Structure 1
Amino acid sequence: MEDSELEKIRKARLEQLKAQGGGSAPKAGPSGGAGGAGGQEAARQQEAEARKSMLNQILMPEAADRLGRIRLVKEERATDIENRLIMLAQTGQLRSKVTEEQLKELLNAMSDNAQEEKIVVTRRKGWGLDDDDDLFDDL
């Protein structure tokens, strides 16, 4: 499922670059002496640019700022939110730019769905009872 989303993002970015006259396309061409590794890095960079461009089109500035602050604290959560927003935009479920309030609602909805981490402490039965202290008195 992620591969198809990434492919859509790449196609959208490629169309955007073609519409702009290919402004940043030549940068991706020369890929250092590493061969495949340079091409992968260029593809990753292009994908990141496409995501950033798409999010700029989706989010109002204050919502983008909030998402940036979330990224500072929990990068994986910010990435999940970005993926959700991009998916909503691609499926046509977003009619206008997302405001900060709408982003808060999305955050709440996603946190309700996520399972909360719970720490369960189980104690041994009889641990720490005063009755055990009698065993050490005879020593």
Structure 2
Amino acid sequence: MLWIKAFHIVFVVSWFAGLFYLPRIFVNLAMVPAESTAERERLLLMARKLFRFVTPIGVLAVALGLWLWFGFGFSGGWLHAKTALVIGLAGYHVWCGMLLAEFSSGTSIKTHLWFRFFNEVPVLALIVICILVVVKPF
């Protein structure tokens, strides 16, 4: 089980790296002037590649987390709260894919300021998840 835990941590860290950086690319995309098509296309390419790369990593992080849960039989309110946050992060990941599709089609109307706040969601989730896992407050 320690191998599973180690790989779970690796995939969680990698998934979070993608969740931190993808919305940052969105901030830059929202700031690109309309006439700068080369910059826009370069940022879109980066965002698409990152999204395709971190999607299976997120799936592996969740799958290994479930394996640990069912293998160790953890219980307690902290685990339910963490599970709710992970489900929320999976939804955030899907939302990122939808926002990427909007940028790709040219229909995104959100400002760079909106994306700056959107970018902070996984940071807050990570802080709470780490506290839940380490401290197990309930």
TM-score for both structures, normalised by structure 1: 0.28
User: Larger RCO: Structure 1 or Structure 2 (Cα < 8 Å, ≥ 6 residues apart)?
Assistant: 2
Identify, as 1 or 2, the structure richer in helix: 2
**TM-score (normalizing by structure 2):** 0.28
